Amino acid sequence: MRQSLVMGNWKMNGRRAGVQALAAGLKSALVGVSPVEIAVCPPYPFLLLAAADIGPGVALGGQNVSLYNDGAYTGEVSAEMLQDLGCRFAIVGHSERRALFGETDEIVAKKFARARAAGLVPVLCVGETLSERDAGRTEAVVGAQIAAVFAECGSGAFAQAVIAYEPVWAIGTGRAASPGEAQTVHAFIRATVAAQDRSAAEALRILYGGSVKAQNARELFAQNDIDGGLIGGASLDATEFAGICRAAAA
């Protein structure tokens, strides 16, 4: 039985006062919400601030990791730094990084390896654009995103990892994938991992992300291969995010 995981990706939002208010709001809104693992991924400058107010029951994650280890890489943040700050997770390959910052499947796979080497749990984001879906290429795109990680890290790549299926057309659009659409891709993801590593595939938590709200979360999380969510916009509202966490705990 896989424990549900709900992660909030705050993206590039917030100021100190708002971060403290959100963290404190989450701490009280999440009282008694179990059994579900919960994490938030604030912007880097606010990681410690959020941690101080959110309490010990919520894990921290980075939204990205550098391709490099420490050294002369101006502007970068290494996986080791995130681990040292108390992060448990690191998102790699978010579609916004792929689309806006030129991250290829190979770069994302190397970042995945960096996160693992630093002792973080990598959260690999995969997903197709609307035109790829319309062209019937969803499985080809998602399969290639996963294959790049196997090529970089070997067949045990997903032993201690998370995959988040985030169809690009569902992110921030208010148009979530239907539970059936998401389940189909989640089952494909699990089968793809199982072809290399059956036990990792059975234990693997596969999160759905893309316009999840408290109101649609329960039906999504009820699907066999949906083990929680990676939440963007709704994670900036403590009550809404707590509602999503409750749906995952149900």
Binding site for ligand 13P (CB under 6 A): 9, 94, 166, 171-172, 209-212, 230-234
The CB-of-11 to ligand 13P minimum distance in angstroms stands at 7
Residue nearest to ligand 13P (CB): 232
Q: How far is the CB of 9 from ligand 13P (least distance, A)?
A: 4
Q: How far is the CB of 71 from ligand 13P (least distance, A)?
A: 29
Residue 228 host element (H or E): strand 228-231
β partners of residue 9 = 41
Write down the catalytic residue from 94, 96, 103, 240: 94
Nearest CA to 186 among 145, 142, 154, 218?
142
Closest distance of CB 161 from ligand 13P, Å: 16
- Report how far apart, in Å, the C-alpha atoms of 201 and of each of 37, 105, 186 are: 19, 20, 11
Task: Using the minimum distance from each CB to ligand 13P, give the nearer residue, 212 or 242.
Answer: 212
Please report, for residues 82, 160, 236, the alpha-carbon distance to residue 77 in angstroms, rounded to integers and kept in the order given. Answer: 8, 22, 23
Using alpha carbons, select from 115, 213, 129 the residue that is nearest to residue 170. Answer: 129
CB of 204 to ligand 13P, least distance (A): 18
- Three-state secondary structure call for residue 102: coil
Contacts 24+ apart (CB under 8 A), 15-20: 16/46, 16/49, 19/46, 19/49, 19/50, 19/53, 20/49, 20/50, 20/53
Residue 210 or 243 with smaller CB distance to ligand 13P: 210
CA distances from 15 to 25, 42, 44, 58, 236 (A): 15, 11, 12, 20, 12
Cβ proximity to ligand 13P: between 197 and 234 the closer is 234
Residue 94: active-site member: yes
42 vs 232, beta carbon nearer ligand 13P: 232
Q: Can you tell me the distance from the alpha carbon of 244 to that of 131, in angstroms, rounded to the nearest whole number?
A: 29
What CA–CA distance (Å, rounded) separates 138 from 144? 10
**Contact at 8 Å (CB) between 211 and 176?**
yes
Report, in Å, the least distance between residue 199 CB and ligand 13P.
27
Annotated catalytic residue, options 96, 103, 166, 240? 166
In the complex with ligand 13P, the residue whose CB is nearer, 115 or 197, is: 115
Count helices and strands (H / E) in the chain.
Answer: 11, 8
Can 186 be counted among the known catalytic residues?
Answer: no
Closer Cβ to ligand 13P, 8 or 78, answer by number: 8
Residues designated as active site: 94, 166
